[in-house]
Amino acid sequence: MRDINGIVTDAEGLVRSVMGLSETGVALALDTLTAKLSAARETYSETRGCLQSSVESSRRVTQAYVTENPWRSIGVAATVGVALGFFFSRKR
């Protein structure tokens, strides 16, 4: 996320500074921005891959637990439902 914020900040700075640049300066600024965008895409792809892997692993573990302990899972879900119902129905 910091990479994206940095890219936005860099892009805003480039837009402000492009007005007074020559063609060479504009080309250099665009190369810099392109390099930063490429780095941000790579970071995004890596982060997305890690998150997908983590979510899939959690899903498999949860599925195995519920399959092995169906009644305990129902009990936990009911208890959480009652607790949330009590919490949200309380008058403030």
How confident is the model at residue 37, as a pLDDT?
80
Question: 3-state class of 72 per DSSP?
Answer: helix
Q: Is the pLDDT of residue 12 over 80?
A: no
How confident is the model at residue 50, as a pLDDT?
92
How confident is the model at residue 75, as a pLDDT?
94
The HSE-up count of residue 66 (CA atoms within 13 Å, CB side) is 9
The HSE-up count of residue 49 (CA atoms within 13 Å, CB side) is 6
Q: Which residue has the higher pLDDT, 16 or 33?
A: 33
Token pair belonging to 50: 């890690």
Q: Which residue has the higher pLDDT, 3 or 9?
A: 9
**Residue range 41-84, pLDDT digits in tens:** 888 888 889 999 999 999 999 999 999 999 999 999 999 999 99
